Each structure stands twice: as C-alpha cells, then as structure tokens.
Structure 1
Amino acid sequence: MLLHWHRADLRAHDNVGLAEAASEGKVLPVFVFDDAVLAHAAPPRVAYMLDALGRLREWYRDRGGDLLLARGNPTEVVPRIAEAHDAEGVYWNHDYSGLARERDEAVRESLSEAGLDHRQFHDALHHEPGSITTNDGDPYSVYTYFWKKWSDREKAAPVDPPESGRLVAEAGEFEDLPSVEDLGFEQPAATVEDAGHEAARERLEAFCESDIYDYAEKRDRAAERCTSRLSAHLKWGTVGVREVYAATERAMDDAPDGDSEDSVEEFQSQLAWREFYTHVLYFHPRVVTENYREYEEGIDWREDDEELRAWKDGETGYPFVDAGMRQLREEAFVHNRLRMVVASFLTKDLMLDWREGYDHFREHLTDHDTANDNGGWQWAASTGTDAQPYFRIFNPTTQGEDHDPDAEYIKRYVPELADVDPEDVHSWHELSDERREELAPDYPAPIVDPSKRREQALAMFKRARGEDPEE
C-alpha cells in the first residue's frame, strides 16, 4: 500500500500523483494540517480548504475509501502515518513556493531515514519550471516569449481518478472534519463560494459553453461577470490543469467563428500567465518580500496609515477603487481588472509599498496564490518581471468609465451611490463638496488628487532610478 499526501491538490480527478499511486496498488489518501502553513493562512482560505476537504472525503467514502486527516509537522507526521499503516512509500505532487520546497525536502529526508520510498510528480502545471527557457537555458523574464513556447507545447491529457477497489479507509486523528475555529481562526466575514471538484467542473463547463467566446471582449467589464471564476479552484487544486485546458480545446473546436477562437486563446493565455509567475517564483523565491526589479537608489515609498486604512476599507472617494476593495471584503474575491486598478491606486496614487497591498490581499482572498498575487502586485508597482513601466499610471476615474460605464459594478458594492447618476459617479472627484453632500452624504470625498500624486510618483521612481526628477 502507498500513501498519497494531498496538499494543494484537493481532488481525485486528474491528479497525477494519486493516479500513479493507484496504478501500483492500494492507496491511502492523507491530508496533514501543517501548522507552518496555517501560520500564513487566513479565514477565507481556511474555510474554503475545509469545504474542499469535506467534499473530497465524501468522494472517497462513497467509493469505500477515506481521507485520513492529521495535524502537525509533516516531517514527523507523514513518516509516522506511513509506518503505522504499513505503507511502502509516500507519493505527492510538487508545490513550487520556497516554503513548500523546504518542507518537502525535510519530508523526503525523514522518509529516507525511515527506509520508506517517496516519489513526487508535476501536477499543478502543464510545464514545470526549467522546461521553458531561453535559447541560453535561462528562465524567461518576459511573458510574451514564454507564452509563445508555452502555447506551442503539447499538453498532457487529464488522468482518471482511482478505481474504488484501489482505495483504503483507515482512521486518522480526526473522525470529523475540524472547524475553522478548531484550527485557530475566526469565521470569515466574507461569503466564501463552494469548493470541491463538482463545483469546479460545473463552473468550467458553464464557462466553456458560452462566456469563453466573449472573454476577450468582456473580461475587463467589471459588471459582466464574464470570467471563469476558477482561480480558487486552481489555487487549491480542486480542478486539474489538464482538465481545464482540455475543456478549452473542446471549446476551440466548437467555436463558431474566428473571433471566438481568438477569445478562447485569450483565456488560455491567462492560464499561461499563471504558470509564468510560478516559474518566476521558483527561480527567484526572494520576490515574495523583495522587488524583482532592482532600482539603483531604492524606492522611497510613503507611509500613511490613514490613507492605507481608507484604501483597505473602500473609503478613498474613488468609486471604482472602492467597489473593488469592498468586493474583496464581501466575497473574498476581486475581479481581475479591479485587482490591477486598486493595486495601481495604492502604489502610484497613494505611493504606498506594494507589500502592504499584497499582505492585505493575502488576508482576504480565497484564491490567494503566492506566485500569482506577488506577480500581479509587482507588475502594478513597476517592480516586477515584465511589469508595466513606472510612468504608466492608471487613472481610477477613466478606468471606471471604460470598464463600468453605467456604474453597475460600482453601485453593486458601493450602495451609497445607488441613486447617483453614472456621470456623477464617474466625476465624483470633480464635484463640489456641496454637490457630493447633496447626492450621497454617506460617501466620502476623494482623499487625494491623482494629477498631483502622479507627478509625485513619477519623481519618486525617477529618484529610485538615479535620475533627476526635474528632467
């Protein structure tokens, strides 16, 4: 018998490590609540994880197996479970963050010392780190070149789940799934969406039936909801990357015209972005806390607790920004266009360190993924790989006009503006105090003047580059 150690692969379908273990005989699935990982967790993700574990455990039990649950340091717990259940070895899928790689190396050493076999598999990516490189063998730092090779590479087909006869049921430390509180967290304030493979498959199928053909045109329209909403499922591995890509290829085959095919390809390019940032993190683990792009003099970020608080609370007086921050608070999710807008506002208009925003998102997102979130924040802050130029600064008002012209998204999350004409919503920063008081007395005035802050931000970056800010 073998153990399959589940981590961020909370599914039985299209799971490479699990399939390999089941191909060799009986398999006992195991999940360990790792205190070192929980130390970096937050209530929305813990709630989502527990939901996913509950649904996975139910899937196993329906087929005569079970998911053994334990808590502690995997370096000690995994070998102990393997020995207690006479397992010959442990299989698991690779995780690519620095913390996970250190943990996995320690587990490998402890298993070897115990005389137990262990094998790891690439499962969370189509193309593992080091497989897509420049002609000189270096990892890419520019997405366009990465995408060209990524899109040309053949993708593996999904793998089948284990047959019922291969699954083993054994008792663990938890007969019942622990609660959020049992793991030391409060219940999340946000409404956390359903987890599990069934929910992921339903969302994937629905997206590929219709919205994927409008994705290129509508993905930036905040009110349209024309995105896949698969990010949390991919983060927690409740759906396999091969299953997702196969569904997009079927959609490509069924595309009614060339524009629809282009739209499917645009969505596939977003899957490639996910892998690009994972490769960046794998080869440059320091980016979790440090700028990828080094500036000669360093960036002199401002410190302003009041402005940071207003940004976090969605009280900046810029409706499109505030709507995004309130969606985060209410749903533990943010539309991708808004992620860019609120990040640009924090780093360019408020001139606050991107790490403040990254930490806040980490605390509130269900789909927080170290590689993707870090890549996105550093892109917006002009400190990352293939980042937007420092002089490209989103205008929060123009962004709202372009991507939410009728203020539908804004009014959904900023009810104080529900009865305000969209033209006034988008020109909120230009209205007099008296007019704002008349239209929406409970909504704040803008906390900054973007035109002034733009000039200050440009000067800040020029100084960081060792240039004269007056030139």
Structure 2
Amino acid sequence: MIVHWHRRDLRTTDNRGLARAAATDEPVVPLFVFDPTVLEYASPVRIACLCEALEALRMRYRELGSDLVVVEGEASGAVPRIAAEYDASRVVWNADYSGLARDRDRAVRAALEDAFVTYESVHDAVHHEPGTITPNQGDHYSVFSYFWKKWRDRDKRDPVDEPDADDLADVTGDPLPTLDDLEFDEPDATPQPVTMAAARDRVADFCSGQIYRYADEREYPAATGTSRLSPHLKWGTIGPRVLYAATERAVAETDSDGDRESVREFQRQLAWREFYVHVLAFNPEIVSDNFSGYANDIEWRDDPTALEAWKAGETGYPIVDAGMRQLREEGWMHNRVRMLVASFLTKDLLLDWRLGYDWFRQLLADHDTASDVGGWQWAASTGTDAQPYFRVFNPLKQGGEYDPDAKYVREYVAELSDVPTDAIHGWHDLESAERERLAPEYPAPIVDHAARRIQAIEMFERARGETPE
C-alpha cells in the first residue's frame, strides 16, 4: 500500500499528491494526523473549520469505498506507525512552506528513512514552486509588480482528477476527535462552511457573475464584491488549478474588455497570495522578525489599554470597530478593512504589528501564515514591497470613501445603527455632548488621528536614521 498524508489539502479533486499516490499500482491509504506541535499554534475557530473539512473529506472517501484514517500524535511518530500498520512502502504528501511545516516534515523524513519507507513531497499548494520565479540575482522577488509580470505569463498546470474507487484502500477510520478531545473551546465566531462542496459552489457562483464586478466592488465591505474563498484556499478544500481554470473560463465566456480586466484583477490577487508564499519560503523568520532591518529600531509603544480597545472594536473609529467586530463574529474580515485595522494599530496606536498578527492568528478562520505575515508587515511598513511609512491611512476618510452609506458600520456596530451617516463618518469631530446624545454606548475616539499620524512618521524616521522635520 501507499499512504497519502493530508495536511492543508483537504480535498480529493485537484490534489496532486493524492493523484501521484493513486498513479501507482498500490492502494492508497488516506491519512490525517492531529499533531500537537502544530495544534499548539491553532485556535478554536480554525480547529472547528478543520474538523468540518475533515468530516466532509471522510464522507467523500466513504462514498468511494474507502475512509480517512485519523490519528493523534507527533507526525514523526504517527506517520511511520501508520505506514507500518498498513505495510505501506511509500508515503506521499503535498509540500508546505512555513518554517513550522518544514521542521515537522524534516523530522518525518528522518523517521521514515529509519523505518526504510520511501517518501515523496509533491508541489501542490500554489501554481509555481518557490524558487521558480526569481530575479536575475537572488532567490525570490521582493517587489510584487515584478513577480506578477512573470507569474501571469507562466503556464499553469491543469487540474488533476479525483482518484477512482479502485485506487483507494479498503480501510476503516476511527471517529474524528471533538474540539473537547483536542482541548479547544467552542469558537465564539460562526464562520462560513469550509467543505469541498461549499468551495465548489462558491467558485461556481463567483465565477459566473460576481467576478465581472470584482474590480469595481472588491474594495467596498458592504458589497458582496469579494470571492470569500480565502478559507477554502487556506484549508485546501479547493485546488488552485481548479480555481484558476474557472477564472480562465470566465475570461473566455465574456466579450467585454471590462469583464476580462476584472477577472485579471482577481487573478492578480491570487498572485499576491502566491508572492507571499515565495517570500516566506525563503524567509521563515519573518513570522516573528521584521523583513526590513531598519524596523528593528522602531520604538513601538506599550499600551495594553489601547490594544484591548482595538481588539474589542471600541476605538471610537467606526469602520475600524466594525472590522474588529466582524472578525469576532465571523472569523473573517473584508480585505480593505484588514488593511485599515492593521494601519490603525501600527500607525495610530503605534503598537507592534506582531500584536495584531497574533490576534488575527487566533480569530481568523482563514489564517494563513504567509498571507497574514505579509499583510501585517505591508501595513506596518516593515515588510517586502510594503506601504511607505509616510502614507498613513486616515480611517475617517477611508470610511467615507469605502462605506459611504455606513451600511457596513451599521451592520457590525449596533450602537451606531440609528446614527446619521454624516455623524458616523464625522464621529471624531463631534462635540462630546453630541456623541453622547447620538450614541451614548459608543466610545469617543481613543486617539487623535492627525496627531498620531505625525508621531508615526517621526517614529519611523528615527528608526531609519532620518531627522524628523
């Protein structure tokens, strides 16, 4: 037999590692391992999504006459043990590029070698393997626009088929552990379904219509302008080749240049995701270290009270608070608002980006190390191809521009549901008596944006060795 070890590829279709295993003459044993070393970095909402995706994966294997073998324990012990139990000659898995994943896989490879079991790591999670899109000198691009030009012109692989029932081993797996078994609480958030079927439906719905409005609507959090596919890409309930093929069909099915440009803009966002995977693959330390060396000298403030207000969505800046409350309720946040709340933490509260990254890691159902580290360091002006430090998002202006009717704010900030739109967008400038009259339960702004913008620029200039004007 041959074992396919599932990790972040919780699907049977367009799974290159699984297809590679099924291409042999040996029956495939599907395996998932709850590794405590990995679970240490998990959170209730992500484990809930993981278990939902695993249950759906198990049901699909059962429909194919097999099952998903699920075990708990360190992968370096569990994988060789399952290989021995099923007399497997080989173990196949799909590559993962974070430092934690590579450390785990290194230990598993050593254990399999000791057990005289062969193994293979297959490139699957992104279209182009890290190290294949490079500048003339260096191992990866640090400027996205250059990466994007090569990414968009490279051929993409076609999706691979699901294995046939005859390719799979006749095995029976034990029941999945519960959140309680894994020592996780029930999550506060109610995330969207994360299953293969939900992913297929979402791709079909998005690519049949909304993708043609993506370029115009993606920045507006009250609109249904984004794909909401990030949890599926994170857990691998949809394959990247299936998704890209759907976008190419969308291009072929329209005669409108504007529609095609909108699809290309969505593909560009897929390339951003892959860009950050490449950066992380060659710089695993950026999970905790600044990408830019000068940023080690930034004098971040220590303000636990401000941090807690930010986490709770109680900053007195309506669109920031709406985003933070959406995060708590849904385990997800609109991308434009992710940038705003990250900028607010680092440029208005002057707090270390790592505090925000850690909070997102706990609450996001779609937390992806590469994308989240990349996004946080972009907003903090410490990362690769980052937002220039002197460009500071104005949360009042951004709220008025991207949520002009305050529909998004009213959805998540109940205290402002009956407040006039102009007052919501001008909350910072209202007299305290007027704020008290309009929304007595909603806080006044905890900082003055204009003053903090100046402080932020001066803080970055000191770190860069420049003399503030």
Report the Cα distance in structure 2 between the residues aligned to 1:20 and 1:357, rounded to whole angstroms: 39
* Aligned: 1:295 with 2:294: yes
Report the Cα distance in structure 2 between the residues aligned to 1:365 and 1:137, rounded to whole angstroms: 33
TM-score, normalisation: structure 1: 0.98
Shift of 1:153: 0.1
Q: What are structure 2's unaligned runs of at least 5 residues? A: none
Instruction: Tell whether the 8 Å contact from 1:93 to 1:121 is kept in structure 2 after alignment.
Output: yes
Describe how 1:162-177 pairs up with structure 2 within 5 A: 162-172=163-173, 175-177=174-176
SS at 2:12 equivalent: coil
Shift of 1:179: 1.0
Give CA-to-partner distance per residue, 1:352-391, whole Å, 9 cap, x none.
0000000000000000000000000000000000001000
Report what 1:27 is aligned to: 28
* Aligned: 1:407 with 2:397: no
Report the Cα distance in structure 2 between the residues aligned to 1:297 and 1:53, rounded to whole angstroms: 40
Instruction: Tell whether the 8 Å contact from 1:200 to 1:233 is kept in structure 2 after alignment.
Output: yes
Shift of 1:427: 0.2
Report what 1:96 is aligned to: 97
Report what 1:142 is aligned to: 143
Instruction: Tell whether the 8 Å contact from 2:189 to 2:329 is kept in structure 1 after alignment.
Output: yes
Shift of 1:296: 7.2
SS at 2:48 equivalent: helix
Report the Cα distance in structure 2 between the residues aligned to 1:103 and 1:297, rounded to whole angstroms: 29
Report the Cα distance in structure 1 between the residues aligned to 2:254 and 2:455, rounded to whole angstroms: 48
* Aligned: 1:42 with 2:43: yes
Give CA-to-partner distance per residue, 1:75-130, whole Å, 9 cap, x none.
11101110111111100000000111111111111111111110110000100000
Give CA-to-partner distance per residue, 1:199-251, whole Å, 9 cap, x none.
00100110001110011111001100210001010011010000000000000
Describe how 1:26-425 pairs up with structure 2 within 5 A: 26-172=27-173, 175-295=174-294, 298-425=297-424
Q: 1:449 to 1:296 in 2, by over 3 A?
A: closer
AA of the residue aligned to 1:263: S
Report the Cα distance in structure 1 between the residues aligned to 2:407 and 2:180, rounded to whole angstroms: 36
Report the Cα distance in structure 2 between the residues aligned to 1:342 and 1:256, rounded to whole angstroms: 38
AA of the residue aligned to 1:217: D
Give CA-to-partner distance per residue, 1:284-319, whole Å, 9 cap, x none.
111000100111771000010110000000000000
Shift of 1:170: 2.3
Percent identity, aligned pairs only, is 58
Shift of 1:137: 4.6
AA of the residue aligned to 2:2: L
AA of the residue aligned to 2:465: G
Moved runs in structure 1, 4+ residues, more than 6 A? Answer: none
SS at 2:228 equivalent: coil
Instruction: Tell whether the 8 Å contact from 2:66 to 2:172 is kept in structure 1 after alignment.
Output: no
SS at 2:293 equivalent: coil
AA of the residue aligned to 1:304: D
Report the Cα distance in structure 2 between the residues aligned to 1:267 and 1:467, rounded to whole angstroms: 38
* Aligned: 1:6 with 2:2: no
Report the Cα distance in structure 1 between the residues aligned to 2:327 and 2:130, rounded to whole angstroms: 31
Report the Cα distance in structure 1 between the residues aligned to 2:300 and 2:277, rounded to whole angstroms: 27
Report the Cα distance in structure 2 between the residues aligned to 1:360 and 1:67, rounded to whole angstroms: 32
Instruction: Tell whether the 8 Å contact from 1:52 to 1:195 is kept in structure 2 after alignment.
Output: yes
Shift of 1:169: 3.3
RMSD (Å) for aligned C-alpha atoms: 0.9
For this pair of structures, how many residues does the alignment match?
Answer: 468
SS at 1:30 equivalent: strand
Instruction: Tell whether the 8 Å contact from 2:71 to 2:78 is kept in structure 1 after alignment.
Output: yes
Report what 1:17 is aligned to: 17
Report the Cα distance in structure 2 between the residues aligned to 1:196 and 1:452, rounded to whole angstroms: 46
Report the Cα distance in structure 2 between the residues aligned to 1:294 and 1:214, rounded to whole angstroms: 40
Instruction: Tell whether the 8 Å contact from 1:67 to 1:169 is kept in structure 2 after alignment.
Output: no
SS at 2:297 equivalent: coil
Report the Cα distance in structure 2 between the residues aligned to 1:371 and 1:63, rounded to whole angstroms: 34
Q: What are structure 1's unaligned runs of at least 5 residues? A: none
Q: 1:183 to 1:463 in 2, by over 3 A?
A: same
Instruction: Tell whether the 8 Å contact from 1:297 to 1:465 is kept in structure 2 after alignment.
Output: no
Instruction: Tell whether the 8 Å contact from 2:298 to 2:459 is kept in structure 1 after alignment.
Output: yes
AA of the residue aligned to 1:231: S
Report the Cα distance in structure 1 between the residues aligned to 2:92 and 2:127, rounded to whole angstroms: 19
Instruction: Tell whether the 8 Å contact from 1:32 to 1:69 is kept in structure 2 after alignment.
Output: yes
Instruction: Tell whether the 8 Å contact from 2:9 to 2:15 is kept in structure 1 after alignment.
Output: yes
TM-score, normalisation: structure 2: 0.99
Shift of 1:135: 1.7
AA of the residue aligned to 1:4: H
Q: 1:137 to 1:290 in 2, by over 3 A?
A: closer
Instruction: Tell whether the 8 Å contact from 1:296 to 1:466 is kept in structure 2 after alignment.
Output: no
SS at 2:359 equivalent: helix
